[in-house]
Amino acid sequence: MSLDPRRVLILKDVIEATSISGAARALGWTQPAVTHHIGTLERSVGMPLLLRRTTGVIPTQAGKALLAHADAIASHLAAAEAELEEMRLCKAGTVRVAAFPSALATLIPHAMTRIHKDSGLKIRLTEAEPDEAMKLLHDDDVDVAVVFSYSDTQPTDISESFDRWTIAMDPVALLLPPTHPLAHKEDLHLTDLADDAWVAGCPRCREHLVSMAHRAGFEPRIDHETDDYVVVQSLVSQGLAVSVLPMVALAAYRNEDVVVRDAPELTGRRIDALFRPGADRVPSIAAVLGALTNDAV
Amino acid sequence: MSLDPRRVLILKDVIEATSISGAARALGWTQPAVTHHIGTLERSVGMPLLLRRTTGVIPTQAGKALLAHADAIASHLAAAEAELEEMRLCKAGTVRVAAFPSALATLIPHAMTRIHKDSGLKIRLTEAEPDEAMKLLHDDDVDVAVVFSYSDTQPTDISESFDRWTIAMDPVALLLPPTHPLAHKEDLHLTDLADDAWVAGCPRCREHLVSMAHRAGFEPRIDHETDDYVVVQSLVSQGLAVSVLPMVALAAYRNEDVVVRDAPELTGRRIDALFRPGADRVPSIAAVLGALTNDAV
DNA sequence: AAGTGACATAAGTGGAGTTTATAATACCAC
DNA sequence: GTGGTATTATAAACTCCACTTATGTCACTT
Compute φ and ψ for B94, nearest 5 degrees: -130, 135
CA distance A226 to B244: 114
- For B80, the closest of A3, A61, A279 (CB atoms) is A3
Residues B255 and B291 occupy one common structural domain: no
> Closest residue of B to A277, CA-based?
B51
CA distance A215 to A206: 14
**Quick check: A37 CB within 7 A of strand D?**
yes
Query: Which residues in A lie closer than 8 A to residue B284 (C-beta atoms)?
Result: 61
Residues A203 and A277 occupy one common structural domain: no
Handedness of CA B24, B25, B30, B31 (dihedral sign): positive
CATH number assigned to the domain comprising residue B232: 3.40.190.10
CA distance A77 to A79: 5
Residues B206 and B261 occupy one common structural domain: yes
Q: Which of these three, B88, B117, B152, is where a domain ends?
A: B88
CATH number assigned to the domain comprising residue B82: 1.10.10.10
Residues A276 and A165 occupy one common structural domain: yes
Q: Which of these three, A55, A88, A121, is where a domain ends?
A: A88
Query: Residue type for A220, please?
Result: P
Q: How far is the CA of A161 from the C1' of D2 (A)?
A: 22
Phi-psi region of A187 (alpha: psi -120 to 50; beta: other; left: phi over 0): left
Three-class SS state of A36: helix
Is the distance from CB of B188 to CB of B261 less than 8 angstroms?
A: yes
- For B6, the closest of A5, A140, A283 (CB atoms) is A5
Instruction: Give the pLDDT confidence of A46-101 residue by residue, as tens digits.
Output: 889 998 888 889 999 899 999 989 988 988 888 898 888 878 877 667 889 999 99
Spans of chain B below 70 pLDDT: 1, 154-159, 295-297
- What pLDDT is recorded for position A297? 45
Task: Outline where B28-118 has alpha helix (H).
Answer: 31-45, 61-88, 101-105, 107-118
Report angle CA A47, A50, A52 to the nearest 5 degrees.
Answer: 120
Whether B124 and chain A come into contact, CB under 8 Å, resolves to: no
Residues A275 and A251 occupy one common structural domain: no
CB contact under 8 A, B48 and A81: no
Compute φ and ψ for B98, nearest 5 degrees: -110, 140
CB contact under 8 A, A3 and B81: yes
Long-range contacts of A82-88 (CB under 8 A, 24+ apart): A83/B65, A83/B66, A83/B69, A84/B45, A84/B46, A84/B47, A84/B62, A84/B65, A84/B66, A86/A120, A87/A283, A87/A284, A87/B47, A87/B61, A87/B62, A87/B65, A88/A283, A88/B45, A88/B46, A88/B47, A88/B62
Q: Which domain holds residue A218?
A: 172-267
CA distance A287 to B47: 13
Residues B115 and B49 occupy one common structural domain: no
**Quick check: A30 CB within 7 A of strand D?**
yes
Residues B208 and B80 occupy one common structural domain: no
Residues B240 and B193 occupy one common structural domain: yes
Query: Which residues in A lie closer than 8 A to residue B4 (C-beta atoms)?
Result: 6
Beta bridge partners of B256: none
Residues A260 and A282 occupy one common structural domain: no
CA distance A207 to A202: 8
Strands B197-200 and B221-225: parallel
Entry pTM: 0.76
Residues B183 and B105 occupy one common structural domain: no
Q: Which of B1, B42, B49, B51 to mutate to test the interface with A (most CBs of A within 10 A)?
A: B51
CA distance B51 to A138: 13
- What pLDDT is recorded for position B174? 94
Q: Which of these three, B69, B88, B107, is where a domain ends?
A: B88
**Overall domain count for chain B:** 3
Q: How far is the CA of A38 from the C1' of C3 (A)?
A: 29
Whether A28 and chain B come into contact, CB under 8 Å, resolves to: no
Per-residue pLDDT of chain A (297 residues; tens, 9 = 90+): 689 999 999 999 999 989 999 999 888 898 999 999 999 999 999 889 998 888 889 999 899 999 989 988 988 888 898 888 878 877 667 889 999 998 988 888 888 888 877 676 888 899 999 888 988 887 778 889 999 988 777 666 667 777 788 888 999 999 999 999 988 888 889 998 988 989 988 788 888 999 999 998 899 998 888 888 888 899 898 888 999 999 999 988 898 999 999 999 999 999 999 888 777 877 788 888 888 887 554
Residues B42 and B125 occupy one common structural domain: no
